[in-house]
Amino acid sequence: MVLREVGVFLGSLAAGDLAVRSRHGLSHDASSWAVRKRSLSGVSSARWAGSVTKATHDQWALARRGQVAELVWLRGQISRIEARLARPLGAKADKRAGLPRGYGSRAEWHAKSRRMHVLKDRLTALEADWAAGRVHVVRGGKQLARLRHHLYEAGLDELAWRERWRAARMFLAADGESGKRFGNETIRITDTGQVAIKLPAALTHLANAPHGRYVLEATATFRHRGVEWADRITANRAVAYRIHHDVLRGRWYVTASWQRTPVPVLPLEAALAHGVVAIDMNDDHLAAWQLDVHGNPVGEPRRFFYDLSGTSAHRDAQIRHALTRLLHHTHRCGAAAIAIEDLDFTDGKSREKYGRNKRFRRLISRFPTAKLKARLTAMAAEQGVAVVAVDPAYTSRWGAQHWQKPLTTKTRKITRHDAAAVAIGRRALGHPIRRRTTPPRTHQSDGDGHRTAQAGPDTRRREGPRPRVPGPRTRCVPPGRGAKAGDQRAQHRSEHAAEQQSWHQDSLPLSL
């Protein structure tokens, strides 16, 4: 009851502070922030006021970033619809000229034109909000607010919804302070799990401990990283806490968080010194294969499955479990880096790009590219593993073309995903993906021996043009002549300009 009363009281202060901050818009400065904080300190405390105003600033900044994302999305949708409206009905796409396909019928053209006007109206209103610094935020969540008008469909009554709404709008969060006892003066949790809360000035009559504190009878236990948390509070290092109420389970939870020291980025050569474990991300599994420093597959391919159906919490747990097994496999292989594709399906989710192919759009919409990369980066940093993101261009196509068949044996069947993992790993290591195709048997040698003249490792100038072998040749240009006679890159059949040179990945988003 005390936690609920404190949370509701601080939640009302947070709602009022967010309203004031939103009214200030772009004219907000340090002086207005100080005025807001002083007004909150009188009814709560300086530390509670600092936590409330910091949460308000974070919420306002998040809303602004959401406006930017929606602006980009609206402009992209409008440009695609306008391009397709300008095309004749039933016209096919011209990739070389960069022209999209036309709409299939007059009715579809008319519906899309109406949608374009709706999107333009939304864009105009959003641009006005952005210019004025005006944001729209619902404390408690817009989804839960809309649920109030559909209680019967959700199987709730007004009392149950009101309880969930009150819990969502509570505010029980406090930032930590290094040097203070147990790392936090507002919400203090001792090494034995005892929880004590510094009550706001308006609720000090509820205190059951000295200095306006309330000590809970229940104790807190951290199952995840509990040892690390204990080390921090023992050294009086800052730990931030957040307390929230789960109405469905009837439980109270406390979340501890702290900021880590930025880990220095490893040079690419050091991260890839012991090879790499390359993964190909798919809808239901991660296809992984270890490659040595020369780009050769080592051992057997591995697959780490996950299920993306169900709630968001279930999907997040599935991804976390798959990545945990991947990191354990990387440690067993002795590698210090994981290579992934830098995928982004933001544009692919549009109806204008794939039309009525709802099944494919639904597939790429639930594909966890951003979440998987972000979680893998965070989890790999804890394990001391570097992450190398490479260009995803043609990895699946070239992997299947050049590596699926050579790696397939009578006892091992290689899929396109396994071959794509090999292509990703070779690109991360700087090796070309495509293999030089062996010439036909009748063309592998001439009458005097093999066609190519192999120079020894000690031969000087061995990277120059091949020596001319006398005899008839079925070529338009005589051997040893022509524009590319001395260009050894031209001797590689897989588009030397893109693949023959070593491929180097930028430092970002390489992480450890």
Mean pLDDT of all residues belonging to the chain: 83
Q: How confident is the model at residue 502 (pLDDT cuts 50, 70, 90)?
A: very low
Q: Residues 394-418: what's their mean pLDDT?
A: 91
pLDDT at res. 500? 41
Q: Which amino acid makes up residue 150? A: H
Question: 67 is written with which tokens?
Answer: 């406006």
Stated as kind and residue range, the H or E segment containing 173 is strand 173-174
| E strands, 213-354, in order | 213-219, 240-246, 251-257, 276-281, 285-291, 297-305, 337-341
CA distance 181 to 185: 7
Stated as kind and residue range, the H or E segment containing 196 is strand 194-198
| DSSP letter, residue 99 | B
pLDDT at res. 469? 55
pLDDT for residue 482 is more than 70: no
pLDDT at res. 267? 85
Q: How do residues 416-469 score in pLDDT, each as one tens digit?
A: 999 999 999 999 999 998 876 666 666 655 544 454 445 555 655 544 455 555
pLDDT for residue 476 is more than 90: no
pLDDT at res. 428? 93
For the four alpha carbons of 463, 468, 469 and 471, in that order, the dihedral sign comes to positive
CA distance 327 to 143: 36
CA distance 90 to 80: 16
pLDDT for residue 192 is more than 70: yes
pLDDT at res. 283? 81
Rounded to two decimals, the pTM is 0.67
Q: How confident is the model at residue 309 (pLDDT cuts 50, 70, 90)?
A: confident
- Spatial strand order of the sheet with 187-189 comes to 187-189, 194-198, 213-219
pLDDT at res. 95? 85
CA-to-CA dists, residue 301 to 54, 298, 426, angstroms: 48, 8, 15
Least confident of 144-158, 307-321, 363-377: 363-377
What distance lies between CA 135 and its chain's CA centroid?
Answer: 25
Provide CB contacts within 8 A for 40, sequence distance 6+. 13, 17, 48, 49, 52, 53
Q: How confident is the model at residue 258 (pLDDT cuts 50, 70, 90)?
A: very high
Q: Which of these, 315, 309, 312, 306, lies nearest to 285 by C-alpha position?
A: 306
pLDDT for residue 332 is more than 90: yes
Q: Residues 254-271: what's their mean pLDDT?
A: 84
| E strands, 432-477, in order | 445-446, 449-450
Q: How confident is the model at residue 487 (pLDDT cuts 50, 70, 90)?
A: very low
List the domains of the chain with CATH numbers: 2-136 (no CATH), 172-257 (no CATH), 268-429 (3.30.420.40)
Could you tell me if 285 and 306 are in contact, meaning their C-beta atoms sit under 8 angstroms apart? yes
Could you tell me if 174 and 52 are in contact, meaning their C-beta atoms sit under 8 angstroms apart? no
Neighbours of 266 (CB within 10 A): 19
pLDDT for residue 345 is more than 90: no
